[in-house]
Amino acid sequence: MRSIHRLFAGVLACALTVQLLHAEGLPELGDVASNELSLATERKIGQQIMDEIRWREPSYLDDPDVENYLNQLGERLVAMSDDPGMGFQFFAINDLSINAFAMPGGFIGVHVGLLLAVQTESELAGVLAHEVSHVTQRHIARQIFQSKKLSMASMVAMGLSLLAARSSPQGAMAAISTTQAGAIAAQLAYSRDFEREADRLGFDILRRAGYDVRGMSGFFARLQQSTRQYENNATAYLRTHPLSGERMSDMQNREQPVAYRQVADSQDFQLVRARVRALQGRPSDAVREFETFLRDRKYSSEAGTRYGLAVAFARNRDWAAAEQELAAVRRLKVSSAMVDRQLAEIKTGRGEKEAGLTLYREAMVRYPRNLAVLYGYGNTLIGDRQFAAALKFADDQLQIYPLDVHFYKFRADSYAGLGRRSQHHLALAELTALKGQTAGAIEQLQLAQQAGDANFYEMSMIDGRLREMKKRQIEEMKERRN
Ligand SMILES: [Zn+2]
């Protein structure tokens, strides 16, 4: 599994890029090197790869708590970058190898292994600030166009075979020989100039955002020294971001004039690390692992460890034990949306739906923009068959997050529960279109037309959307043919 993801992390991003570039109707391969990639095109490519990962890649970690944390940390860094308005998205990959990767257009993937391997939040911030800089400097696009070691054609072939076998990633990887994989991986290493630039700009971001500037070099040094300890887990990142002695001394020279100051880790950093660990393996094993940590006092944060145990208990559906641990976390004066949301989920799990909904409502007042809390509330309303309330909630949230698939899902489920068939299919059509599946959206719109319960106004809206989607489909087919 690990080798798949290590390859996936770097290769899929670039291989697909070339394939999709071709699909965009850009010039033939021979001319590509001389062409600049527009930012809008880069963004479109990145979005398509992101859709592949989010909706079809099994190792994508679909956990709103973790994603929310990464985006909060990421936004704080991006705000201090040279291009704060670029619009980044951070997400987690459930893979224990140590890696982080940037895709075209500002999509940044973080392996769970990296979250577990860093010792401070500043180290994590250092790695992410470096990746953010690769994006703002548009290194990925430039790297692809400058590549000479590997022919464009073989990267396209690679991308195609990955695409063809995306439903079974293991099969796809088995089809690719290790020599090819090695060649591609070597190809994907950023050039020395790009690394130097990302180091320099990443350092500036880290300093301006108020993190410990020694985070980056400290993490790299440890990574390099302990490659044996981590076995192959450390090589993925080092392979794509080669660490030379020169880079290391550049980093240290930059840090020298900055006075040392202790930067405390955030509570959520401790909680997220415990959470991703508690999500690994079998629930009963996770429970045992965290119980051992607590018994032996083997932890840097008691609150984080107790929260991790609560998550493991909740996975094991041991609601009473989970609630008890969360109460202990709260006694340690921890206030976090993650703790509140977990408690609401546990109450709901125990069958105390009203108590759960009340906790969600209180959390929404305290953390109004926390998507994990919002999704949890919507799911609980649907689970409790409160369809009218769920529909109102979904519509309100869609005013704020018009492109969020989850809220369309709540709308679709609410309409299904209310017996409104055409509106149910219309919501499913919007959801499917947002996932980048135009044909599926057309199918849903046709079902909405045929449902027979739409009024005149709703019908003309469905007809209008259907015309738009068919037009989009024709455009996409044209792009693919070119
Ligand atoms: Zn790099």
Compute, in angstroms, the gap from residue 130 CA to the centroid of ligand 1.
6
Compute, in angstroms, the gap from residue 81 CA to the centroid of ligand 1.
16
Q: Of the ranges 103-112, 130-139, 408-417, which is most confident?
A: 408-417
pLDDT band, residue 43 (cuts 50/70/90): confident
Compute, in angstroms, the gap from residue 129 CA to the centroid of ligand 1.
10
Compute, in angstroms, the gap from residue 475 CA to the centroid of ligand 1.
36
pLDDT band, residue 261 (cuts 50/70/90): confident
CA distance 456 to 238: 60
Compute, in angstroms, the gap from residue 107 CA to the centroid of ligand 1.
15
Rounded to 5 degrees, φ, ψ at 264 are -75, 145
Largest CA distance in the chain: 72
- Per-residue model confidence (pLDDT) at position 1: 35
Compute, in angstroms, the gap from residue 111 CA to the centroid of ligand 1.
15
Tokens 């004066």 label which residue? 333
Compute, in angstroms, the gap from residue 134 CA to the centroid of ligand 1.
7
pLDDT band, residue 34 (cuts 50/70/90): very low
Over range 389-404, report the average pLDDT. 97
SS3 track for the chain: CHHHHHHHHHHHHHHHHHHHHHHCCCCCHHHHCCCCCCHHHHHHHHHHHHHHHHHHCCCECCCHHHHHHHHHHHHHHHCCCCCCCCCCEEEEECCCCCCEEEECCCEEEEEHHHHHHCCCHHHHHHHHHHHHHHHHCCHHHHHHHHCCCCCHHHHHHHHHHHHHCCCCHHHHHHHCCHHHHHHHHHHCCCCHHHHHHHHHHHHHHHHHCCCCCCHHHHHHHHHHHCCCCCHHHHHHHHHHCCCCHHHHHHHHHHHCCCCCCCCCCCHHHHHHHHHHHHCCCCHHHHHHHHHHHHHCCCCCCHHHHHHHHHHHHHHCCCHHHHHHHHHHHHHCCCCCHHHHHHHHHHHHHCCCHHHHHHHHHHHHHHCCCCHHHHHHHHHHHHHCCCHHHHHHHHHHHHHHCCCCHHHHHHHHHHHHHHCCHHHHHHHHHHHHHHCCCHHHHHHHHHHHHHCCCCCHHHHHHHHHHHHHHHHHHHHHHHHHHC
- Per-residue model confidence (pLDDT) at position 246: 83
- Judged against a pLDDT cut of 50, whether residue 23 lies above it is answered with no
Q: So where are the chain's domains? A: 2-255, 420-482
Compute, in angstroms, the gap from residue 237 CA to the centroid of ligand 1.
8
- Per-residue model confidence (pLDDT) at position 120: 94
Least confident window among 290-299, 319-328, 383-392, 473-482: 473-482
- Per-residue model confidence (pLDDT) at position 189: 64
Q: Tens of pLDDT along 371-382?
A: 999 999 999 999
Compute, in angstroms, the gap from residue 19 CA to the centroid of ligand 1.
23
- Per-residue model confidence (pLDDT) at position 53: 82
Q: Tens of pLDDT along 344-373?
A: 999 999 999 999 999 999 999 999 999 999
Compute, in angstroms, the gap from residue 301 CA to the centroid of ligand 1.
31
Chain mean pLDDT for the chain? 82
Compute, in angstroms, the gap from residue 99 CA to the centroid of ligand 1.
11
Q: Tens of pLDDT along 99-121?
A: 888 887 889 999 999 999 999 99
pLDDT band, residue 220 (cuts 50/70/90): confident
Over range 168-190, report the average pLDDT. 44
Compute, in angstroms, the gap from residue 230 CA to the centroid of ligand 1.
20
- Which one is predicted more confidently, 149 or 38? 38
